[in-house]
Structure 1
Amino acid sequence: MRIGEVCKIEWKDLNHEHKTVIVRDRKDPRKKEGNHMIVPLLAGSYDLVKKQSEKDDRIFPYNSRSVTAGFQRVRNDLGITDLRYHDLRREGASRLFEKGYSIEEVAQVTVHRNLNILWQVYTQLFPHKLHDKFDE
């Protein structure tokens, strides 16, 4: 998800039974409000949410600009010059594709409504990997 979306998720949007959250008012060029989407919390993300303090209405009560600035500061301290926070979203999507998730399933996690954008921007096909899939 986008960092702004993560920082806006509230405790009331968490479904413990299904390990999902509602991402409200997602970015959409056609519609500014009412773009809600249910997103699964895969791998350790649900456990990470459970570790957060419930002192605020939001699960991650941070200003998204502060998170971005902190990410940039750490990145720069490590001498990494070619990594943006948004690149982590692409990495996550690529890993899901590598695990065999369908484009529709990945879209549920990355919160993409336009599958063409997801396909064109986030997938990287490696011809040599087809051998592994064929051998299975």
Structure 2
Amino acid sequence: MATISKRGAYQWQAKIRKQGYPVQSKTFDSKREAEAWASVIESEMTRSVFIDRSLSERETLEDVIDRYIKDIAPKHKGGRAEIARLKKFLHGEQDLTCRIMATLTIEDFESYRDKRLNENKAPGTVKRELGLLHSVIESSLRRLGLLENPVTKVKRPTVNDNRIMRFYGDDEARLMTALDSCRNPWIKPAVTLALETAMRRSELLNLQWQHIDLETRVAHLPDTKNGHSRDVPLSSIAIQTLKNLPQQESGQVLRTTAEGIKNAFERARKRADLEHFNFHDLRHEAISRLFEANWNVMEVAAVSGHKDPQSLKRYTNLKAADLAKKMG
């Protein structure tokens, strides 16, 4: 049976004690609200469907994000990127992060989505942000006693998959010229190796000298995004690029950071009037070139590390003009 008692001059507290359940209590502005809440909770306990929501009524979204940053993100391969995005979110969305978890609704995250799109953020960026927030809340859903993740039913922005991801005309030459003006000495070798090997940015940054055999022309990647190691063949251009770098028996080949690569590339693409072209598009370009050079699917997959043809297809953008030449 619930106990309803007055707290101070204007508030009422409902407290429920039932065997087999933790004590539940909540304060309201009126006795009627306290009685209504107690009636619902007692009914749930009687029907054995009660879930303790008290934690969700104390913790904020910021608390949940902090827990994710501390305990979960470091275990992920992309953990550093997740942590960076979440810290940026904490800094910029304080109106949302200060909210109690039990009060967050689908509409709150729809408003966040619309605000980001109105700030001219790319649909793909907003889609990834919502996906990360969904994962963050999902990680604490059971612990908080929440029945539903409010981000689950938020409609994601439509991503335009028809964006140009290839070099055309003198695009590559303009980019390479722009890279010559970069203060970061590692960016041009990174771009060249990306085009010659189809490696991801993270794989390039993790490349170690002890895993490169210049004689057999192979770079070994012991730990990749999909969790499998692979050996990447090195072209003559890749070999020459590596030989021009300061060499040592061990250590990082490209002694820079993901942020360093990102910033330098963005400045260079702006100078080259290629602001539509991202660093990851170099991987699309490299894979497409392998197909245009008559490599078969299995050979390309061995280089790129893709495990299924559908994923590989998404990274392949063949030029119609080159295909027309094969038709005679």
Please, what TM-score do these two structures have when normalized by structure 2?
0.36
Alignment deviations for residues 69-95 of structure 1 (CA, whole Å, 9 cap, x no partner): 110111123332211011111111111
2:202 partner amino acid: G
1:9 partner amino acid: L
* Whole-angstrom distance in 1 between the partners of 2:282 and 2:217: 21
Check the 8 A contact 1:97/1:123 in 2, yes or no: no
Check the 8 A contact 1:8/1:58 in 2, yes or no: yes
Alignment deviations for residues 46-70 of structure 1 (CA, whole Å, 9 cap, x no partner): 1111111125611111112211111
Is the alpha carbon distance of 1:38 and 1:88 closer, same or farther for their aligned partners in structure 2, counting shifts above 3 Å?
A: same
Q: Does 1:17 align with 2:215?
A: yes
Q: How does 1:28-107 map to 2 (within 5 A)?
A: 28=226, 31=227, 35-55=228-248, 57-107=251-301
Check the 8 A contact 2:266/2:275 in 1, yes or no: no
Is the alpha carbon distance of 1:17 and 1:132 closer, same or farther for their aligned partners in structure 2, counting shifts above 3 Å?
A: same
1:17 counterpart SS class? coil
| Residue of structure 2 equivalent to 1:110 | 304
Is the alpha carbon distance of 1:38 and 1:59 closer, same or farther for their aligned partners in structure 2, counting shifts above 3 Å?
A: same
Check the 8 A contact 2:207/2:221 in 1, yes or no: yes
* Whole-angstrom distance in 1 between the partners of 2:284 and 2:275: 17
* Whole-angstrom distance in 2 between the partners of 1:130 and 1:80: 25
Q: Does 1:4 align with 2:209?
A: no
Q: Extract structure 1 runs of 4+ deviating beyond 6 A.
A: none
2:264 partner amino acid: G
Q: Does 1:133 align with 2:326?
A: yes
Check the 8 A contact 2:285/2:317 in 1, yes or no: no
Deviation at 1:134, TM superposition (A): 4.6
* Whole-angstrom distance in 2 between the partners of 1:69 and 1:131: 38
Alignment deviations for residues 78-120 of structure 1 (CA, whole Å, 9 cap, x no partner): 3322110111111111111111111111122223233321124
Deviation at 1:123, TM superposition (A): 4.0
Work out which of the two has the higher radius of gyration on C-alpha atoms and give 1 or 2: 2
* Whole-angstrom distance in 1 between the partners of 2:308 and 2:255: 29
Check the 8 A contact 2:292/2:318 in 1, yes or no: no
2:309 partner amino acid: L
| Residue of structure 1 equivalent to 2:79 | none
**CA RMSD of the aligned region, Å?**
2.1
RCO higher in structure (CA 8 A, sep ≥6): 1
1:44 counterpart SS class? helix
Is the alpha carbon distance of 1:131 and 1:87 closer, same or farther for their aligned partners in structure 2, counting shifts above 3 Å?
A: closer
Check the 8 A contact 1:40/1:108 in 2, yes or no: no
Please, what TM-score do these two structures have when normalized by structure 1?
0.81
Deviation at 1:12, TM superposition (A): 0.7
2:294 counterpart SS class? coil
2:232 counterpart SS class? strand
1:117 partner amino acid: S
